[in-house]
């Protein structure tokens, strides 16, 4: 009996496990929005995070840390007031009195409102409670009412309010927050002097919000406007801007999304050229270079899928190998890079037939699984990919240890997956097929014979 008869159809790797950066991330790592947006000011510095996204689907936008330039941001606005509040011991009577002022916003002055906004922001960072982001939105709305239209703090407050509304949208899916957030971000751009200070920061936020709106509602005009905005941001800034790398990446992701929508190779080519150009100007040891490498690998993979040109698949592999080689073990992007590498090596094995690609892919997948938290919701998908790769190698090597390990891993996948999950029947069927492989030829004949007798009995 041949290996393909034993195992059945060739197993496929689930691309869902390939992760891409996504979401606006606050200083405590919270992510806002699937599509990812730029954050609002230095007080809410964004860290790089990687969220799940299927390689065959549109990649998502990245977060970034913002350069506030010379404009006055909310972080600067509240610094003196906040330092005063922070200097009050929390067991002193005055501290509760100051904090309690948030219950009397109509009587509070602007400095109090800004200071309380910072306090509530910290609460939300800790709790992720929608009630706290709602409090923050109310405080910012009150601050906007109190500030003069000629005050240079108005634009940053509008931007802060808009991104906070988007944060609440991420928690509640209330489309009113998404629409109002975009409206606030538009105002922030309109009242900021062009090419001054935070203008491009605010403009980039607006572009990201419009892309989010497109992803949620599918309005192509929002995608076109988002791309137009991000082209202006990228074309008008240089590598001297701390956010330039992220803006280039975001533009590339938007172009990739439109390529998937309309099939325009020009968009995909522009995406790749923008990323390669930025990487060429970015030191290899730059901590954020991994983000560009990850997105570039997805673009090459998309071009390979579109053209079938093996050179694009080779560039996918080499790009991911470079990313894996420079990523520290604790980098959140590493599991995604390893999984993407394993999937790409498996694809190249199917085209070229080099067993080394298959073995190297299995090694990459093992490492990815070892780095993933045991309570990660995507662990079953990663494990299934490892099992599928082992099954493929069994077809070549006929080594029982490969299929035995594949069965053991698939059993764990079934145990980790609830019966109510859509993938459960697939995992069960896959496990059943492999269990038959482990039977002796006589047992296989008996099982097949009993099945036929049972079907005949049912017909009678």
Query: What is the predicted pLDDT for the residue at 254?
Result: 96
Q: Which of 371, 387, 402 is the last residue of a domain?
A: 371
Query: What is the predicted pLDDT for the residue at 24?
Result: 34
- Among residues 157, 141, 84, 83, which one has the least CA distance to residue 108? 141
Tally of domains within the chain: 2
Query: What is the predicted pLDDT for the residue at 53?
Result: 28
Q: What are phi and psi of 355, to 5 degrees?
A: -65, -25
Does some domain include residue 168?
Answer: no
Instruction: Give CA separation, 174 vs 130, 134, 159, 168, 178, in Å.
Output: 12, 12, 19, 8, 7
Does some domain include residue 193?
Answer: no
Same domain, 400 and 441: yes
Same domain, 323 and 355: yes
Same domain, 356 and 393: no
Same domain, 292 and 342: yes
Domain of 448 in residue numbering reads as 372-459
Same domain, 413 and 360: no
Does some domain include residue 434?
Answer: yes
Same domain, 365 and 377: no
* pLDDT tens for the 460 residues of the chain, in order: 434 433 444 455 554 444 444 443 322 334 445 433 333 333 322 222 223 222 233 333 333 332 333 333 333 333 333 443 344 344 444 444 444 444 555 656 788 888 888 888 888 888 888 899 999 999 999 999 999 888 989 999 999 999 999 999 999 999 999 999 999 999 999 999 887 778 999 999 999 999 999 999 999 999 999 999 999 999 998 877 878 899 999 999 999 999 999 999 999 999 999 999 999 998 888 888 899 999 999 999 999 999 999 999 999 999 999 999 989 888 888 988 999 999 999 999 999 999 999 999 999 999 999 998 888 888 888 888 888 889 889 888 888 888 888 888 888 888 877 777 767 677 676 676 665 555 444 444 444 544 444 444 444 4
Partners of 25 in beta bridges? 31
pTM for the predicted model, two decimal places? 0.72
Q: Which of 317, 343, 371 is the last residue of a domain?
A: 371
Same domain, 325 and 401: no
CA–CA distance, 24 with 39 (Å, rounded to integer):
6
Same domain, 367 and 377: no
Query: What is the predicted pLDDT for the residue at 260?
Result: 94
Partners of 19 in beta bridges? 52
Q: Which of 338, 371, 404 is the last residue of a domain?
A: 371
Do the bridges between strand 24-25 and strand 31-32 make them parallel or antiparallel, or are there none, so unpaired? antiparallel
Does some domain include residue 93?
Answer: no
Same domain, 365 and 438: no
Residue 432 has a CB neighbour count (10 Å cut-off) of 11
Same domain, 408 and 383: yes
Does some domain include residue 415?
Answer: yes
Does some domain include residue 304?
Answer: yes
Query: What is the predicted pLDDT for the residue at 8?
Result: 45
Please return the burial class of 404, using the count of CB atoms within 10 Å of its CB with bins 0-12, 13-18 and 19+.
Answer: middle
Does some domain include residue 165?
Answer: no
CATH number at residue 355: 1.25.40
Residues in the chain: 460
CA–CA distance, 185 with 179 (Å, rounded to integer):
10
Does some domain include residue 205?
Answer: no
């Amino acid at each position: 009996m041949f290996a393909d008869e034993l195992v059945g159809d060739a197993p496929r790797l689930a691309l869902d496990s390939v992760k891409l950066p996504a979401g606006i991330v606050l200083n405590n790592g919270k992510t806002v929005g699937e599509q990812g947006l730029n954050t609002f000011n230095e007080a809410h510095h964004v860290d790089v995070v990687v969220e799940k996204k299927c390689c065959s689907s549109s990649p998502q936008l990245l977060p970034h840390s913002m350069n506030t330039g010379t404009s006055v941001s909310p972080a600067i606005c509240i610094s003196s007031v906040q330092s005063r509040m922070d200097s009050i011991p929390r067991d002193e009577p005055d501290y509760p009195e100051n904090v309690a002022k948030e219950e009397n916003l109509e009587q509070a002055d602007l400095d109090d409102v800004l200071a309380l906004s910072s306090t509530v922001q910290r609460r939300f960072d800790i709790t992720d409670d929608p009630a706290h982001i709602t409090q923050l939105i109310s405080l910012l709305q009150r601050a906007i009412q109190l500030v003069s239209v000629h005050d240079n703090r108005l634009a940053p407050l509008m931007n802060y309010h808009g991104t906070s509304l988007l944060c609440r949208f991420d928690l509640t899916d209330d489309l009113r927050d998404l629409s109002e957030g975009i409206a606030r971000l538009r105002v922030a751009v309109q009242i900021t002097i062009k090419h001054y200070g935070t203008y491009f920061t605010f403009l980039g936020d607006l572009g990201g919000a419009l892309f989010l709106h497109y992803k949620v509602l599918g309005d192509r005009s929002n995608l076109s406007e988002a791309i137009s905005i991000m082209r202006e941001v990228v074309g008008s800034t240089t590598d001297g801007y701390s956010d330039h790398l992220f803006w280039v990446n975001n533009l590339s992701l938007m172009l990739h999304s439109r390529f998937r929508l309309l099939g325009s190779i020009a968009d995909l080519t522009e995406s790749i050229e923008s990323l390669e150009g930025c990487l060429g100007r970015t030191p290899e040891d730059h901590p954020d270079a991994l983000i560009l490498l990850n997105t570039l690998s997805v673009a090459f993979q998309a071009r390979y899928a579109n053209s079938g040109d093996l050179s694009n698949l080779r560039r996918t592999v080499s790009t991911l190998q470079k990313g894996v080689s420079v990523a520290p073990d604790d980098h959140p992007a590493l599991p995604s890079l390893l999984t993407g590498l394993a999937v790409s090596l498996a694809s190249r094995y199917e085209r070229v037939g080099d067993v080394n690609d298959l073995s190297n892919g299995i090694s990459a997948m093992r490492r990815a699984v070892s780095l993933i938290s045991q309570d990660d919701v995507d662990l079953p998908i990663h494990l299934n990919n490892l099992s599928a790769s082992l099954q493929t190698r069994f077809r070549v090597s006929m080594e029982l240890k490969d299929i035995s390990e594949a069965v053991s891993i698939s059993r764990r996948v079934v145990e980790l997956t609830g019966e109510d999950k859509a993938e459960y029947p697939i995992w069960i069927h896959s496990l059943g097929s492999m269990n038959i492989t482990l039977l002796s030829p006589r047992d296989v004949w008996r099982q097949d014979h009993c099945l036929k007798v049972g079907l005949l009995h049912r017909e009678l």
